[in-house]
Amino acid sequence: MSLAEVNKERKALLTAEHLYKEFPVEEGKKKEAVHAVTDVNLSLMEGETLALVGESGCGKSTLGKTLIRLYDSDGGKILFDGTDITHMKEREFAPFRTQMQIIFQDPYASLNPRMNVFQIISEPLRTHHRYSKEELSERVYQLMDEVGIAREFANRYPHQFSGGQRQRIGIARALALNPRLIVCDEPVSALDVSIQSQVLNLLKDLQEAYQLTYLFISHDLSVVKFIADRVCVMFLGMICEIGATEELYENPLHPYTRFLLNAIPLADPALRSEKKTLLQGDIPSPVNPPSGCRFHTRCPYAKDICSRETPPCRTCGDRIVYCHFPLGEERS
């Protein structure tokens, strides 16, 4: 079955429609806002890994947190399993909250240093379930087995573990309430390569065992290639392109996607290219984002219309691209 067919059979677990998120900032007297997420439309299919990629500050973490309502959105709609959760009151939302968890980049900062491993993993269980003492420890030990932390370490504190082990503890905590969706916000970025591969394998195994859906945030396109079924490329708060991983890497349609892929340093000197086409310039400010297509100030293909009009959403098979002049057309 091709990925497209698989996707057709799968249902959307989480859908965002015209989602917005802004952060107010004070620039002198003027009240302005960081346009962190602007008019985002996307669906997470049950059981898939959708990667969110893009450069620092483009809004990946903000989008991830807004989708699972750690942030309140400033416009648009979020559907979880068909139910509109955008403005649900806390009591109504509680059963949904347990189904959506998040793992953070920094395994050092995201664990309470004064709690031992047992307390960290059991905390969500205690607030949401009425387990007996035995049931509780049984569940905690089971989770520790699951992520590969030896049971005898239950009484140790975070500082006694390596980065990779701390990330495993964070994963165990996220798994405790049997979530259906996990937002993985740069889960391996702080880890050494040899440890990174261990954690990536673990995430894949867990997904298979529990049919988890991942929103996998990363700026490492090699890692994304390994883990993701589909990729969503963002630039300055807006989506550039969404597509099946292989196809998107093979044949990017948005110019920005192509530049990102070109910039990856490849671990093979034989592939060293003398003249790389590199993107020039810096990322513009999200406070006063460029008009029209937000990428137009850096885009070598930009024409007048690009600074005037926001590119429409174009679809081609299961590919979605927001560009006035997608690369595919130029070639055909």
Ligand X SMILES: Nc1ncnc2c1ncn2[C@@H]1O[C@H](COP(=O)(O)OP(=O)(O)OP(=O)(O)O)[C@@H](O)[C@H]1O
Contact footprint for ligand X (CB under 6 A):
23, 34, 36, 54, 56-62, 219, 286
Q: How far apart are CA 38 and CA 242, in angstroms?
A: 16
84 or 208, CB closer to other proteins? 208
- If one asks whether residue 246 binds other proteins (CB under 8 A), the answer comes out as yes
- If one asks whether residue 228 binds other proteins (CB under 8 A), the answer comes out as no
Q: Which does 167 bind (CB under 5 to 8 A by kind): ligand X, other proteins, Mg ion, none?
A: none
Tokens (6 digits) for 158: 């975070």
- If one asks whether residue 207 binds other proteins (CB under 8 A), the answer comes out as no
178 or 201, CB closer to other proteins? 201
E strands within 206-312?
Answer: 213-217, 230-235, 238-244
List residues binding Mg ion (CB under 5 A).
61
> Can you give the C-alpha Rg of the chain in angstroms?
21
Residues 117-176 that bind other proteins (CB under 8 A): 162-165
Amino acid at 244: A
- If one asks whether residue 195 binds other proteins (CB under 8 A), the answer comes out as yes
- If one asks whether residue 300 binds other proteins (CB under 8 A), the answer comes out as no
Q: Which does 1 bind (CB under 5 to 8 A by kind): ligand X, other proteins, Mg ion, none?
A: none
155 or 162, CB closer to other proteins? 162
Reported as half-sphere exposure (CB side, CA atoms, 13 A), residue 50 has a value of 26
Q: Are 176 and 210 in contact (CB under 8 A)?
A: no
- If one asks whether residue 3 binds other proteins (CB under 8 A), the answer comes out as no
Q: How far apart are CA 188 and CA 197, in angstroms?
A: 9
User: Which alpha helices (H) appear in the chain, and where do they start and end?
Assistant: 3-9, 60-67, 90-97, 117-128, 133-147, 163-175, 193-210, 221-227, 245-250, 255-263, 304-308, 327-331
Q: How far apart are CA 171 and CA 202, in angstroms?
A: 9
Of 29, 133, 268, 332, the residue at the interface with other proteins (CB under 8 A) is: 268
DSSP category for residue 10: S
Of 71, 283, 301, 328, the residue at the interface with other proteins (CB under 8 A) is: 283
- If one asks whether residue 288 binds other proteins (CB under 8 A), the answer comes out as no
